[in-house]
Amino acid sequence: MDEIAARANTSKRTLYAHFESKEKLYLAVIELVRGLYLDKLKTPADYAADPTEAIVLFCGRFMELLLWAPAIGMCRLAISEAEHFPEGSTRFHDAIFATAHERLSGFIAERWKKTPKAATTLTDALLGTILYPRFPRALFGLDHVSDEWLDEEKLDPSFDLTPIRGAVTMLGLQ
């Protein structure tokens, strides 16, 4: 709390006046991150008229956001604090992973006329395929992640979509 107060250019007393505990501050940070993340992620339909391209670009943006240094840092923090603040870890997981899954699964169900269960199965397979091995390698510090601020509106054109296109093709989402 001392470090946060110093960075905020305020006193610890003022900080505690706004947040009665470290957990409340942590939950407020998670809510802030959630809003920023979901605003940048959007929904698959926001990316392209073609449903296959929309999924590829949505998943690309999802991965771009996950492989961003601040996101990796928050993931590490959520994992390290899971025993102390399980509600925070649950909220962070829901914001970053569950919401993306819901958006993608709903899109697949609607555009490919799949049952919710079938769409969930496809989404599980797609996200599992694109997350591994890139995300764990970044999480463990084995691969470089971007520190640069991400464009508010679109995926970086240099982001490699090849593995995502392969996963989408493999699952028959064309």
Q: Domain-by-domain residue ranges, the chain?
A: 26-170
The CA dihedral of 60, 62, 66, 70, to the nearest 10 degrees, is 110
pLDDT classification of 67: cutoffs 50, 70, 90: very high
Spatial contact of 98 and 27, defined as CB atoms under 8 Å apart: no
pLDDT digits (tens, 9 = 90+) for 112-130: 999 999 999 999 999 999 9
pLDDT at 7: 81
**DSSP letter, residue 143:** S
At the top level of CATH, the class of 26-170 is: mainly alpha
